[in-house]
Structures are given as structure tokens and as C-alpha cells.
């Protein structure tokens, strides 16, 4: 049975952020090719569009929400690490550096029209993060399913010196952008009423 709103993402962080909207939704994740050689800002738009279109084909008449996040340091896109060595290299690259986190969001309204946008933030890691700290962080398992091999809202927050921009964009679902796109889809996000 199709729900009114479908979140096309397996990310627990996106489920939590979507829950803030107060909108009832169901998670159903389409299988799509997430490889993309475009620059990070364009890649997140393309991959989120692929996810949204695939989910809309599975749930015609529903409103679809799909997103994709990439980290970029010195114009090098960093997706999810495929192993611990890749996570180590990514975190070394981020140490002491400003980098960008891009999240693309694509919604499909009940009539099948696309509503898309991108949000980003700049993040700077401290420069005194040691290799031993990186290894211990990787051993927690937290970096392994995260773009750029870290979670801002998790243990990696120990090394985040500064953030410029919306933190929900870094976590994977920029709430101001989501609110605007859902409104375009005819699903207003309203704060809950007091009892």
C-alpha cells in the first residue's frame, strides 16, 4: 500500500530529520546506480534525481523525497569509504582543512513533477587530529557509511572546529530546503499544535 509521502533513503539520519517535519511517511529505497563523475554539487543533484524518479515509478501518485550527500575537499569528491584504508585517507585529507558538504534533494509531487534543490555547508576540521585518533575513530565503525567518512552529529564532532551553513545539510537532509520543496509538492510542513 502506498503512503502519501515516501522517503527514498535508508539513512537513519534522514529518517530522523524527516521525522522533525511531523509528516507521516514510509521508507522505501529504490536500487539505483549512484556512480557519477560530475563535480560534487552537480553529482548530488543527479543522484537524488535518479532516486526520486525510481521511487516515483514504484509509488505513482505519492510524494517522493530523495536526497544524496557528498563531501568535497579541494574539489575532490569524497563519497562513502569502501574500506578502512579509504576512510583513513579521507580523514587525513580533511584534517585541518575547510571542505564542503553538498546535499541534493529531489521531490516528486503526486502528479509526477520534479522539485529539486541543493544545499551546502562549509566545515573545518581541527589540525591537531592525530593518526591514532583517526584509527580509533574508524574502529568505532561510524565512518563506514558516511560521505567523507564522518558524521557531524557523532564522534567526529570532537574534531569539527567550525561550520558555516546549515548543519542539517551536512547530516544529509537540509530542513529549510525540504520544507520549501514539500510545500511545492502540496505538503506543507507545519509545527505541531500545542495541547
Q: Are strands 63-73 and 5-7 parallel, antiparallel or unpaired?
A: parallel
Report CA-CA distances (Å) from 178 to 103, 184, 189.
11, 10, 9
With left for phi above 0 and alpha for psi between -120 and 50, is residue 130 left, alpha or beta?
beta
Residues serving a catalytic function are: 68
Report CA-CA distances (Å) from 137 to 81, 128, 150, 176.
14, 14, 9, 31
Q: Is the Cα torsion angle 50, 55, 58, 59 positive or negative in sign?
A: negative
Amino acid at each position: 500500500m502506498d503512503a502519501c509521502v515516501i522517503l527514498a533513503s535508508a539513512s537513519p539520519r534522514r529518517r530522523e530529520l524527516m521525522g522533525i517535519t511531523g509528516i507521516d511517511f514510509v521508507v522505501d529505497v529504490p536500487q539505483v546506480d549512484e556512480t557519477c563523475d560530475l563535480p560534487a554539487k552537480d553529482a548530488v543533484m543527479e543522484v537524488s534525481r535518479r532516486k526520486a524518479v525510481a521511487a516515483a515509478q514504484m509509488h505513482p501518485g505519492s510524494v517522493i523525497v530523495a536526497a544524496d550527500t557528498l563531501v568535497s575537499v579541494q574539489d575532490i569528491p569524497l563519497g562513502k569509504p569502501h574500506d578502512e584504508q579509504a576512510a583513513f585517507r579521507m580523514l587525513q585529507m580533511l584534517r585541518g582543512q575547510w571542505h564542503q558538504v553538498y546535499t541534493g534533494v529531489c521531490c516528486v509531487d503526486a502528479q509526477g513533477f520534479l522539485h529539486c534543490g541543493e544545499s551546502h555547508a562549509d566545515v573545518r576540521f581541527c589540525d591537531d587530529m592525530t593518526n591514532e585518533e583517526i584509527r580509533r575513530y574508524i574502529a568505532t565503525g561510524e565512518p563506514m557509511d558516511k560521505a567523507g567518512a564522518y558524521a557531524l552529529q557523532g564522534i567526529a564532532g570532537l574534531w569539527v572546529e567550525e561550520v558555516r551553513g546549515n548543519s542539517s545539510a551536512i547530516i544529509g537532509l537540509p530542513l529549510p530546503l525540504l520544507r520549501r520543496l514539500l510545500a511545492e509538492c502540496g505538503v506543507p510542513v507545519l509545527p505541531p499544535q500545542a495541547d
